[in-house]
């Protein structure tokens, strides 16, 4: 039997029609199943959770059949209450389906504590720029007799001497003690 005869045979044509009908039934069945399981026309507006405590967020999201996922705490923002929501994804006003995860970031209890960088016998300008870039503030600058002028001899926080590696709260005010350059190098201890 030649291929051409087989293609135009009654058996082959019946099988093609059966295959096409099965494909159409499968496609329509899959579309109907997707419509019912994906809640195609359902839309829930995401509420504004900013400035709310975690307890209130839990209640609000539970009522709306949404879930929360807490992401790592963000940087402290003094304009928001402690442990309140400062960022959310998706944003308020967006539409989502039920049981959707809402990712939130909470405001920590305060600024983090940061390590004091190496500072001894380094110029004022270098130490000042390091401290400012870390988020500290520069307080009083005093001078002490030393042969090196404008070299940092010590740092102080709330009157207490600091050493490299000590932890101080970000935005803390650091006082600097510098050499005044009046001492002769030979008379140094």
0.95 cut: is pTM over it?
Answer: no
Q: Give counts: helices (H), strands (E), the chain.
A: 4, 11
Q: Could you give all domains of the chain from N- to C-terminal order, each with its CATH number? A: 44-106 (3.30.10.20), 113-187 (3.30.10.20)
Q: What is the pLDDT of residue 185?
A: 60
Q: Is residue 119's pLDDT more than 70?
A: yes
Average pLDDT, the chain: 89
- Spatial distance between the Cα atoms of 89 and 73, rounded to a whole number of angstroms: 14
- 142-151 as b/e: b if 16+ CB within 10 A: eeeebebeeb
What is the tens place of the pLDDT at every residue in 167-180? Answer: 999 999 999 999 99
- Spatial distance between the Cα atoms of 109 and 128, rounded to a whole number of angstroms: 27
Sign of CA dihedral 70, 75, 76, 78: negative
């Amino acid at each position: 039997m030649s291929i051409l005869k087989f293609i135009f045979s009654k058996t082959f044509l019946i099988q093609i029609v059966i295959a096409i009908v099965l494909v159409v039934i499968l496609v329509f069945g899959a579309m109907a199943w997707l419509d019912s399981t994906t809640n195609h026309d359902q839309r829930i507006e995401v509420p504004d959770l900013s400035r709310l405590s975690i307890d209130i967020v839990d209640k609000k999201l539970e009522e709306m059949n949404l879930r929360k996922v807490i992401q790592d705490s963000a940087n402290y923002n003094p304009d928001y209450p402690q442990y309140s929501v400062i960022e959310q994804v998706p944003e308020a006003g967006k539409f989502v389906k039920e049981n959707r995860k809402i990712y939130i970031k909470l405001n920590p209890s305060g600024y983090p504590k940061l390590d004091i960088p190496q500072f001894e016998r380094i110029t004022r300008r270098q130490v000042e720029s390091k401290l400012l870039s870390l988020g500290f503030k520069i307080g009083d600058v005093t001078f002490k007799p030393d042969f090196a002028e404008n070299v940092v001899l010590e740092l102080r926080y709330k009157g207490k001497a600091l050493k490299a590696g000590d932890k101080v709260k970000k935005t803390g005010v650091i006082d600097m003690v510098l050499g005044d350059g009046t001492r002769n190098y030979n008379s140094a201890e």
